[in-house]
Amino acid sequence: MESGGAATSGTEYLNLFFGERAVKGIEIDRNKRLKDQPETGHNRWHPDVPPALEADPGEEVILQTRDALDGQFNRLTTESDFDKVKSGSIHPLTGPVFIKGAQAGDLLEVEFLEIAPEPWAYSAIVPGFGFLRDVFTSPFMVHWEIENDGATSPQLPGVRIPGGPFMGVSGVAPSHAQVSKWSRREEDLLRRGGIALAPDPDGAVPNAGLPAREGLRTLPPRENGGNLDIKQLTRGSRLLFPVSVEGALFSTGDGHFAQGDGEVCVTAIEMGATVAMRFRILKGEAQRHNIRSPRFSHHDYFSEPRWAVPRQFIATMGMPIREDGTNEGENLTLASRNAVLNMIDLLQERGWSREQAYVLCSVAVDLRVSNVVDVPNFVVSAFLPLEIFQA
């Protein structure tokens, strides 16, 4: 999709980018939920999920993907519909793709050639989720129209968010040993009072067998990738995964049209997408260099420079100091929280509601660690580009 041109739909993209060439891919029916077309994907991480496609290294592959909520939201959705959402169905992934020749111990490189959005997208404040879930307890819905490489919404009048499409979830299959190990560590976290989603067959695809009973939920990222939500993974980026099973079994989904670093309200500008990619195998590199988690690179600007490094911005700072004045030295989570809360206050001063401000923070504000050395008060800054506000 060329910057400044009309947004290209997934179907148009198939015709424009590849022309008459025969290209491997997985096509989905966007009128169906994943459970009604299970041969196209899955929503649990498990090595027994059967591949939906095979590809050779260097071969171009196109995958059509559903939005993060698997079509449970649409253009008519309002806040009154939030109670109907089935959380067990989130993150419908397209795949897996079996990459011929990939073996445990290899590194798999995934190069994103293009990511084309569908024309409608959404953001939402979902009670019980998000960075400030204790503060924002009421639902809020934002509908976006994507056109001319930008997103606008009647719920945020006068705002235009520039496009930087990327895939929120990308990963390879874990091994059986990793499924067991990671399940145990998340069970331990739950016992210690933390938050984690235990395996649950409700809403699972596949809906039977070990993937349904013990498959890992897709909400958190792990060493196999998953819900990374890294906005720099735009067209031209290369994402590297340590391979744990034969064929690697790569899957992707949860397309985002744009997002602030942090995605604080738990949604970005959520979209269905059509993504083109190619794969490369680096034989034995993960084992040779003891690489145990994903890496990524980009050999050009990940977005237009004026958005990657905005010419005009406002910013707030957060430090690890509680509202009652208690100093929690070196607590970056608290510093981040305060930076976001301070940005929300700033936006409210400029006339936005608290809910509008929270969504703006999620889709456009970048959290940056400004220092981790000036004990006890590390600083996190929240940057908001002013050009998103149309004159």
202: Cα within 13 Å, side-chain hemisphere: 7
Q: Look up the pTM and report it.
A: 0.94
Give the confidence band of 12 by pLDDT, cuts at 50, 70, 90.
low
The yes-or-no verdict on residue 17 having pLDDT over 70 is: no
What is the percentage of the chain residues whose pLDDT exceeds 70?
94
Q: Are residues 198 and 185 in contact, defined by beta-carbon separation less than 8 angstroms?
A: no
Closest CA to 360 of 341, 349, 345, 344: 344
As a whole number, the mean pLDDT across the chain is 94
Q: Taking the CB of residue 180, how many other CB atoms lie within 10 A of it? A: 11
Question: Residue 3's pLDDT band (boundaries 50, 70, 90)?
Answer: very low
Instruction: Out of 14-28, 105-119, 173-187, 210-224, pick the least confident.
Output: 14-28
- Bridge partners for 130 per DSSP: none
pLDDT in tens, 343-371: 999 999 999 999 999 999 999 999 999 99
Taking residues 384-390, report their average pLDDT: 94
220-239 burial by CB neighbour count: b if 16+ within 10 A, else e? ebbbbbbbbbbbebbbebbb
Q: Which residues have a Cβ under 8 Å from the Cβ of 237 and sit 6 or more positions away?
A: 111, 112, 166, 296, 297, 298, 302
pLDDT tens digits, residue range 155-185? 999 999 999 999 999 999 999 999 999 999 9
pLDDT at 9: 58
3-state secondary structure of 363: helix
Domains contained in the chain, CATH given? 10-304 (2.60.120.580), 310-388 (3.10.28.20)
Give yes or no for a contact between 262 and 336, defined as CB atoms under 8 angstroms apart.
Answer: yes
Beta-ladder partners of 115: 275
Nearest CA among 217, 232, 229, 280 for reference residue 91: 217
Q: Looking at the chain, how many residues does it have?
A: 391
d(CA 93, CA 66): 7
